Amino acid sequence: MKWRKVTALALAAVMCISASACANGAQNTGNTTQAESPVNTTVESQTSAADNTTAAPGNDAGNQAALRVAWWGSQERHNMTIEALDAYAAEAGTEFSYEYTSWTSYFENLATQAVGSNLPDVIQMSTTDIINYSKNDQIIDLQPYIDDGTIDISNIDQSSLSGGMVDGKLAGFTTGVNTVNVLYDKEAFDQAGVTYPSNDWTWSQFIDTAKAVYDATQIPTELPFLAEARWLVEAMVRSYGYDFFSEDGHSLPWAEDEAVVTAVIQAVQDIYDGVKAGYFVDPEVQIAWSTTEDYFIVKGESAMSFQLSNYYGVYCAAAGKELGMVMLPKMDGGSQTGMYLNSNMYWCISANCQDPKAAAAVINYLINDEDACKMIGTDRGISLSGAVREMLASSEDTDVYTKNTLNYVNEVSSAVKSTNPADPLNSAEAISVLKNNFTAAMYGEMSAEDCITDFISQAASILPE
């Protein structure tokens, strides 16, 4: 009887281990089955119905293989991009195979494809991830295709183009620039009798404004960038003339300057004081927001909201009215505006692309072609091309929101000299520490001082030496 029990036990143990290992293993090795991951809302390898493309992942060198283009985004972005690329396909005879997904699963898929040396030819890339792909030679230098004229940069702002540089190589072509802004609800301000903010306002004026509107109307202001505190702190340290990450990506240059650190801590404290006093939104409420419709600014329940400028149109549309838009406040002790321009995202060409010249031509089309830019609008940021910007600003098809965004970005770019470079290695992990600490500070679980000093010390160990 006993041996039976022992075998049963052993068998059960093996089964348990293999059951758990199965799930673990599948998850870790980047297996595409993703049994564990439910966020698999991807639409993989969707070939467009309009042209007769064959999804040929092998990229046969002999016949003219379909160019695989990958991007993440919303349904609107999918539609706009497919429309633009289909038009190109009809004209140039290039065959496309589209691989578009939501943001959540995009980079898992991409990494898995990289493992199999099966990356799409043209890849939409984010500012945090490009460094990994470039440093590991998964994407190629685009400079040769600019030199041979495939990508026309005669209308492109050179300073913004540098946003795609990694180690002296043009790893990605900036799809458009983006920046941060403060949206304000004009009705709330009118009701409170408070004057609208202006581009040269300071941090203390911002706090006073939030308080004044709240005192008069009980309408609070949203916590600045609770979902990504880095955007807030970046604007603060830039006010003092520092970059957020050092050029070599090994440190936080502003962390050495005690005056700056103190000022950032004080600013975090200011916000927390506002949370306690009620003129900022309760962090427990705000942290649960995920879609545009959740934001109070859309419902007319908040006075001000910190956002990225490419979403301006989306927020106005959701609010059903034209929201005011102004630059982030400058720090009181700072020497300049804290505003900055970011590459919103990039177009990259993978190293295993069989026909990089054709891929570069597609990028050129998406960047420079007026019709393509009309279809895509400012969805991937404000175009680097002066000609395209002018075309969009003067076109009758362009709505007032897009025009406002164009004006705003023009104002910012005249105040800011260069575009941020791509984020350094391990930045994603460091930024998540800041986000977490900032949340904890807003919850009152962490002092403002610990929030910043703990981030500085953790970043030192996370960023590469």
Partner 1 sequence: MANKSQMRKNTLLGYLFIGPWLICFLAFTALPFAASFFLSFTEYNMLSVPKFIGFSNYIRLFTQDNLFMTSLGVTFKFVFISIPLRLLFALMVAMILNRDSKAVPIYRVIYYLPSILGGSVAVSVMWKYCFSKTGVFNSFLNMLGIPCNISWISNKDTALWSIILLFIWQFGSPMLIFLSGLKQIPRSYYEAAVVDGAGPVKKFFRITLPLLSPIIFFNLVMQMIGGFMVFSQAMIITDGGPMNKTLVYALYLYRQSFAYYKMGYGCAMAWILLVIIGFFTALVFKSSSAWVFYENEMFDGKSNKRKGRARRK
- Tell me how far apart the alpha carbons of residues 356 and 359 are, in angstroms, rounded to a whole number: 5
- Tell me how far apart the alpha carbons of residues 266 and 329 are, in angstroms, rounded to a whole number: 15
Contact window for partner 1 (CB under 8 A) among 37-45, 166-174, 193-201, 255-263: 37-45
Taking the complex as a whole, the smallest distance from the CB of residue 461 to partner 1 amounts, in Å, to: 7
Contact window for partner 1 (CB under 8 A) among 19-27, 371-379, 384-392, 413-421: 19-27
Nearer to partner 1, 358 or 446 (CB): 446
26 binds partner 1 (CB under 8 A): yes
Of the candidate residues 147, 394, 461, 465, the single one contacting partner 1 (CB under 8 A): 461
Nearer to partner 1, 195 or 218 (CB): 218
Nearer to partner 1, 56 or 440 (CB): 440
- For residue 253, give every residue at least 6 positions away whose Cβ sits within 8 Å of its Cβ, in sequence order, or none: 242, 243, 245, 246
Of the candidate residues 11, 16, 55, 277, the single one contacting partner 1 (CB under 8 A): 16
Identity of residue 197:
P
293 binds partner 1 (CB under 8 A): no
Contact window for partner 1 (CB under 8 A) among 15-23, 45-53, 63-71, 207-215: 15-23
Of the candidate residues 7, 11, 31, 193, the single one contacting partner 1 (CB under 8 A): 31
19 binds partner 1 (CB under 8 A): yes
Taking the complex as a whole, the smallest distance from the CB of residue 258 to partner 1 amounts, in Å, to: 25
- Tell me how far apart the alpha carbons of residues 206 and 405 are, in angstroms, rounded to a whole number: 21
3-state secondary structure the chain: CHHHHHHHHHHHHHHHHHHHHHHHHHHHCCCCCCCCCCCCCCEEEECCCCCCCCCCCCCCCCCCCCEEEEEECCHHHHHHHHHHHHHHHHHHCCCEEEEEECHHHHHHHHHHHHHCCCCCCEEEECCCCHHHHHHCCCECCCHHHHHCCCCCCCCECHHHHHHHEECCEECCEEEEEECEEEEECHHHHHHHCCCCCCCCCEHHHHHHHHHHHHHHHCCCECCCCCCCHHHHHHHHHHHCCCCCCCCCCCCCHHHHCHHHHHHHHHHHHHHHHHHHHCCECCHHHHCCCCCHHHCHHHHCCCCEEEEEHHHHHHHHHHHCCCCEEECCCECCCCCCCCCCEEEEEEEEEECCCCCHHHHHHHHHHHHHCHHHHHHHCCCCCECCEHHHHHHHHHCCCCCHHHHHHHHHHHHHHHHCCCECCCCCCCHHHHHHHHHHHHHHHHHCCCCHHHHHHHHHHHHHHHCCC
Find where tokens 């043209």 sit. 122
107 binds partner 1 (CB under 8 A): yes
429 binds partner 1 (CB under 8 A): yes
Q: Which of residues 342-361 bind partner 1 (CB under 8 A)?
A: none
Would strands 169-170 and 165-166 be described as parallel, antiparallel, or unpaired? antiparallel
Nearer to partner 1, 5 or 58 (CB): 5
Q: Which of residues 257-286 bind partner 1 (CB under 8 A)?
A: 282-285
43 binds partner 1 (CB under 8 A): no
C-alpha 139, offset from chain centre: 19
Nearer to partner 1, 24 or 407 (CB): 24
Nearer to partner 1, 95 or 423 (CB): 423
Q: Which of residues 131-150 bind partner 1 (CB under 8 A)?
A: 132-133, 136-138
27 binds partner 1 (CB under 8 A): yes
Contact window for partner 1 (CB under 8 A) among 17-25, 165-173, 316-324, 402-410: 17-25
1 binds partner 1 (CB under 8 A): yes
Contact window for partner 1 (CB under 8 A) among 66-74, 103-111, 269-277, 411-419: 103-111
Q: Which of residues 114-133 bind partner 1 (CB under 8 A)?
A: 114-115, 132-133
Structure tokens that stand for 295 in this block? 């934001």
Taking the complex as a whole, the smallest distance from the CB of residue 152 to partner 1 amounts, in Å, to: 30
426 binds partner 1 (CB under 8 A): yes
460 binds partner 1 (CB under 8 A): no
Nearer to partner 1, 129 or 185 (CB): 129
76 binds partner 1 (CB under 8 A): no
Taking the complex as a whole, the smallest distance from the CB of residue 24 to partner 1 amounts, in Å, to: 4
Where do contacts with partner 1 occur on this chain (CB under 8 A)? 1, 9, 12-13, 16-31, 33, 36-39, 41, 107-108, 111-112, 114-115, 132-133, 136-138, 282-285, 287-288, 290, 426, 428-429, 432, 436, 439-440, 443, 445, 461
